[in-house]
Chain A
Amino acid sequence: MSNFLSLHEITKEYPQGETPLRVLKGVTLEVAKGEYLTIVGASGAGKSTLLHIMGLLDQPTSGELLFEGRDLGKISGLEQAQLRNHLFGFVFQFFHLLPDFNAVENVMMPGLVGQGLWGWTLTRRQVRRSAEELLARVGLKERLKHRPSQLSGGERQRVALCRALINQPRVLLLDEPTGNLDSHTGEEIHELVRTLNREQGQTIVMVTHNEAAARRAGRVIRMLDGEIVSC
């Protein structure tokens, strides 16, 4: 058993009439530190649900989620929120940027959420600086003040990626990050993610049905009807 992120016999059921809908049927999975793991499978296979559970966005019906030996199912809601803030970084298929805030503010947001009530001005400036650096690194230096509605899909996803990275998460979780992009921009995003993994040793778990992208990842697992069918 690895000492990083591990899932043990995770199940997820949704109440639905007589027999509950079983989305996950006992998933056991190890994610090693610095690994680039891709989960592929048809839609409805439970990949996203698994990712949500992994990132503490959703609660499993049963099973254990361990991070460095610590059972994340047994901690308080507030602690879970804190872990979502600085342990995991999320990137979604539909970008999920806050429409009322511009690019740099969106990127800053997790940094601001993570900070306490005090030290407002000081850390805010630091957070802004690192947000600007991140955006510059993904080539959005000129688009800092643009709102999500003024950005293209690829740009939005890059902003979302920066947001996921601002708190230097231990695990980066990507839920079909290119599902809503054309193949060219999608490839750019994949390239960014690969670089992160390669150059900074960023642990990455990505859900996709882009087989081409999956093939270039470190490890690929395939899911079917709530179960892992091949590693």
Chain B
Amino acid sequence: MYKLMVALRYMRRNWLNLVGVAAVAIGVLVLIVVLSVMKGFDEEFRARVRATLSDLIVENWYDEPFGNYEELMAQIEKIPHVTACAPRYEGLALLTLRKKLPDGTYGPGQQRRYGEFLGIDLPREVKATDFAEYVRAWRGRAAREELAALFSQGDIAIAAISKEHVAAELNSLRPEDLQIMDALPRERLTAWAKKEGLSLQSAFATAAATPVEWGEVPDSKLSPAFAGSELLVIGQDENGTQVSLGTGDQVVVFSATDNFANQTFRRCQVNGEFRSGMYDYDARNIYLPLADAQRFMSNEGKVTSINIRLDSFDNAPIVRATLLGILTPDELRRGLDALRSLGGGAAPKLKEIEAQLKLLSSSEVTWFATADYRAITVTRSLEYDIYGALETLHKTGVANPAAEEFQKLVLQREGSRVGRGSKLALRVSTWEDKRRPMLRAVMLERRIMGVILFFVMLVAGFLILSIVHTTVLSKIRDIGILKSIGGSVGGIMSIFLLNGLLMGAVGSALGTLGGMLITKNINAIQAVLEKMVGYSLFPQDIYYLDRIPVDQHPFWNTTVICLSAVVVSLLASAYPAWKASRLNAVEALRYE
């Protein structure tokens, strides 16, 4: 242990060691702060990329609308961990924006866009997805202000009820907020409470339990709609202020199908805006009532997807597996037998099909069967195998009876067109599956950033190398003395390795401390800096964020950063330490 004693003494006697410690500390600090803010942004970005997608999404295998969804949803809701599900009808559309003119009429339309309409069942949607978090109902603005005033007047009872109610019933403020904003101007609430003979408190609670409203639309030919905040922007006026659609303005939605003869349109009255922070969604999405979307597409009683919310996204694989489990082993066996029976005496191509079906028959693929549905739940990679099997089947042609039977029996491509009484193939994906490319890009970005920032660590490493080297040079005689009193090669080496290690460890500790302090107070620091430089460093209108997001759980990141800092310090001191240990004792003693 004399090594530690000597190393510490040398460090105390040489202020350069402080420089080394500072270099490591700065490196660690920068890495922690930057990576933590990047991770914070990533998490924010993930939420935005996700927007209104729920944990699991069920779709038709062939991306076509399917019916009888209520039954399917009833089945799904029975699965453990599923807390809610909501149907949707989504599709592409051409949009025309029409602002109300001063004379009360609408012009021919100021802007044309392409976009996506999403028919949603609002009461279910707010339970199954984060929809309510992203919408702002204009009609309820006055009500919201009133409510805020109510709270500020000290009507604690109502505030308390609201909070309690939320905590107990729905775990989230949002649906209620939306509801209160939309439905509860104070006069209405008090009037209604008086009429019903309720206390204000219970009136509030009852009202909070009633479904969200789309808003009133006088004309039955209009659909109430929430449109993306960017979609609503139609330009600038002569003063340079942004002109957007507002209350009472219209968006006309044209169906974008390949059947021109059947092209339809639906006029929507915009009652609120949707703002996710992802430009793509905000510039394209328009939300209408599900029934209106179905009618508009002449597909009453059908939906394109079902969003499933789970108690925790961690349970997504379990629920997927449970979906798999709905199919009994017996059903699986029967399906496989049917497939195998196709092989006998059929065209040579069938061998190929069989090979692919063997893949299908692995545990990763199975059929989820109810009276009306047959769901294929597959992992992403196997999807291609299924497509491959279908492709091959198509190539074999209708002349092949076995192939034809296979199609009918298993994949039911034709049968998936609801109305022929056949079963339906479904696909179950997580929201991450659906947004994989974007999520991967972000992941990659952070990794690359980490690698680049690691060069800061390398610079600190070079500094440590030269500091330890200087120490060795100034202690050559000491090295000779230590050798003469029995210091071994390893012992001498340890002294200088310890020197580097200690610089790395102390630097890491200080850097971590500093990094934590900065990330914890980054918004306060931002405010101070903004005051000093006089302009906004973090404009809210660009990022849609009211504060800089930071990583809330920096444990692993910090651990990795500190470990790598220590390893770099150790490696940097290895060379001078090795040189020191190789010195000849007699020559070192003579060294002046």
Residues of A within 8 A of B (CB): 52, 55, 57-58, 77-78, 81-86, 90, 92, 96-101, 109-110, 112-115, 117, 120, 124, 163, 167
Provide the residues of chain B in CB contact with A96, threshold 8 Å.
477, 480-481, 484, 589
Contact A81 B1 (CB under 8 A): no
Provide the residues of chain A in CB contact with B5, threshold 8 Å.
112
In the bound complex, CA of A86 to CA of B482 (Å): 13
6 chain-A/chain-B pairs, Cβ below 8 angstroms: A83-B486, A99-B478, A100-B478, A109-B482, A110-B486, A112-B1
Q: Which secondary structure characterizes the binding site on chain A?
A: helix
Residues of B within 8 A of A (CB): 1-2, 5-6, 9-10, 13, 477-478, 480-491, 585-586, 589
Contact B482 A113 (CB under 8 A): yes
Provide the residues of chain B in CB contact with A86, threshold 8 Å.
486
Contact A85 B1 (CB under 8 A): no
Please tell me which one of the listed residues A77, A84, A101 contacts residue B489 in the complex, with CB atoms under 8 A apart: A77
Provide the residues of chain A in CB contact with B585, threshold 8 Å.
57-58
Contact A100 B9 (CB under 8 A): yes
Interface centre among A77, A85, A113, A163 (most CB of B within 10 A): A113
Which residue in chain B gives the minimum CB-CB distance to A114? B486
Provide the residues of chain A in CB contact with B1, threshold 8 Å.
112, 115, 117, 120, 124
In the bound complex, CA of A101 to CA of B482 (Å): 12
In the bound complex, CA of A112 to CA of B2 (Å): 6
Provide the residues of chain B in CB contact with A98, threshold 8 Å.
6, 478, 481-482
For the complex of A and B, the 4 pairs showing the least CB-CB separation, nearest first, are: A85-B486, A112-B2, A81-B488, A110-B485
Please judge, given known A-B contacts A84-B484, A109-B2, A117-B1, whether A78 and B477 are in contact too, CB under 8 Å. no
Contact A52 B491 (CB under 8 A): no
Provide the residues of chain A in CB contact with B490, threshold 8 Å.
78
In the bound complex, CA of A112 to CA of B482 (Å): 11
Which residue in chain B gives the minimum CB-CB distance to A108? B2
Which residue in chain B gives the minimum CB-CB distance to A111? B2
In the assembled complex, the CB of B3 is this many whole angstroms from the nearest CB of chain A, namely 9
In the bound complex, CA of A101 to CA of B10 (Å): 10
In the bound complex, CA of A110 to CA of B482 (Å): 8
Provide the residues of chain A in CB contact with B483, threshold 8 Å.
57, 81, 84
In the bound complex, CA of A101 to CA of B485 (Å): 15
In the bound complex, CA of A117 to CA of B586 (Å): 27
Contact B486 A81 (CB under 8 A): yes
In the assembled complex, the CB of A81 is this many whole angstroms from the nearest CB of chain B, namely 4
Which residue in chain A gives the minimum CB-CB distance to B491? A113
In the assembled complex, the CB of A167 is this many whole angstroms from the nearest CB of chain B, namely 8
Contact B10 A100 (CB under 8 A): yes
Please judge, given known A-B contacts A58-B585, A81-B491, A101-B9, whether A163 and B485 are in contact too, CB under 8 Å. yes
Contact A52 B485 (CB under 8 A): no
In the assembled complex, the CB of B101 is this many whole angstroms from the nearest CB of chain A, namely 89
Provide the residues of chain A in CB contact with B482, threshold 8 Å.
98, 109, 113
In the bound complex, CA of A125 to CA of B369 (Å): 79
In the bound complex, CA of A31 to CA of B432 (Å): 83
Contact B485 A84 (CB under 8 A): yes
Provide the residues of chain B in CB contact with A85, threshold 8 Å.
485-486
In the bound complex, CA of A100 to CA of B1 (Å): 17
In the bound complex, CA of A78 to CA of B484 (Å): 13
Interface centre among B6, B482, B488, B490 (most CB of A within 10 A): B488
In the assembled complex, the CB of B325 is this many whole angstroms from the nearest CB of chain A, namely 57
Which residue in chain B gives the minimum CB-CB distance to A118? B1
Please tell me which one of the listed residues A77, A110, A117, A167 contacts residue B488 in the complex, with CB atoms under 8 A apart: A77
In the bound complex, CA of A91 to CA of B481 (Å): 10
In the bound complex, CA of A58 to CA of B483 (Å): 11
In the assembled complex, the CB of B128 is this many whole angstroms from the nearest CB of chain A, namely 62
Which residue in chain B gives the minimum CB-CB distance to A83? B486
Provide the residues of chain A in CB contact with B489, threshold 8 Å.
77-78, 81
In the assembled complex, the CB of A55 is this many whole angstroms from the nearest CB of chain B, namely 8
In the assembled complex, the CB of B515 is this many whole angstroms from the nearest CB of chain A, namely 33
Contact B9 A57 (CB under 8 A): no
Please tell me which one of the listed residues A81, A92, A109, A124 contacts residue B589 in the complex, with CB atoms under 8 A apart: A92
Please tell me which one of the listed residues B13, B477, B486 contacts residue A113 in the complex, with CB atoms under 8 A apart: B486
In the assembled complex, the CB of A146 is this many whole angstroms from the nearest CB of chain B, namely 16
